[in-house]
Amino acid sequence: MTIKLGVPSKGRLMEKTFDWFGARGVSMARTGSDREYAGAVEGVEGVELVLLSAGEIPRELAAGRIHLGVTGTDLVREKLGQWEQQVEELALLGFGHADLIIAVPNCWVDVDTLDDLDAAASAFRAEHGFRMRIATKYHRLVREYLMDAGVADYQLVDSQGATEGTVKNLTAEGVADITSTGDTLRANHLKILSDALVLQSQATLFRSRKAQMDDEERAVMQALKVKLGLSSGRV
């Protein structure tokens, strides 16, 4: 039997993940044609590579359909309630760094903090008759963060892509999104609130607490952890 390792199926995240494992003596590669989502693992026996969309990896871990998975901390915390009870963080991989932040137009010279955002939201609602809209795909994280901070009179609107453009398109007044360099925000005339860092995320190797393992698979898991330097080898 094998243990299943879920890895993002494309892009820099996949390449960097392959590099990270490669540097530890576990080589991974996609097999077949460029378009076929199949892969191979060498350097350790009994590990099967499952190529998945990074956004689906939290769900697959929680369901126990994969034993290990590489994805961002942001996605795990957004998608899994009480995430610590569903998955275990085995290793921070040191790439895919991104901050979940809240940004508003540069021209809002009166707004720099959550305190300002809250006051502006109140005035906005009185003026326009609806709550200030913040576009995001991280509904749970942003809502919990703003609720905890006591911000009122806002609403979250769903945006699964091109979120920074929503303000100019008049479908939102502000955004809550992942940023690494801030270039896209600047290009879209947005600035980050100085005291509103919702979450710092990076690519992380997670272990499912829900996936079943037999003795053989437990041995494979242990061997892999030793190889990756995550366990001393003592059981």
Partner 1 sequence: MPRKAKIRARAAGLKAMFEAEGARSVETNVLQPADLLLDLYGEDIRGRAYVTSDTLLGEQMLRPDFTVPVVQMHMEHGAEPARYTYAGQVFRRQEDDIDRDNEYTQVGYEVFERDNPAAADAEVFDVIRKALRGAELKASTGDIGVLMAAVQGLETTERRKAALMRHVWRPRRFRALMDRFSGRSPVPATRKALLENPAPMENDFPQIGLRSASEIEARIGWLREDAEAAPLSSGQVELIEALLNVRETMPFALEQLRDIAVDMPAITEAVFRLKDRIDALAARGVDVDNLDFETSYGRTSMEYYDGFVFGFHAPGRPDLPPVATGGRYDALTRALGQGREIPAVGGVIRPGLLLELEGAL
Q: Interface residues with partner 1 (CB under 8 A)?
A: 81-82, 105-110, 112-113, 115-116, 118-120, 122-124, 127-128, 131-132, 139-140, 143-144, 146-156, 167-168, 170, 173, 189, 194
Interhelix angle 139-149/114-128, nearest 10 degrees: 100
Could you give the CA distance from residue 212 to residue 224 in angstroms, rounded to a whole number?
A: 17
CB nearer partner 1, residue 151 or residue 224 = 151
**Quick one: 49 or 151, whose CB is closer to partner 1?**
151
From the CB of 160, what's the least distance to partner 1, in Å?
16
Cα 137–101–146 angle (5° rounding)? 75
For 41-73, the DSSP string reads EESSTTEEEEEE-GGGHHHHHHHTS-SEEEEEH
* Token code pair at residue 216: 């053989």
Please say which residue, 50 or 196, places its beta carbon nearer to partner 1.
196
Q: How far is the CB of 173 from partner 1 (least distance, A)?
A: 6
Q: How far is the CB of 52 from partner 1 (least distance, A)?
A: 24
Structure tokens at 63: 């369901």
Task: For the CB of residue 107, give the shortest distance to partner 1 in the complex, in Å.
Answer: 4
Beta carbon nearer to partner 1, 183 or 215? 183
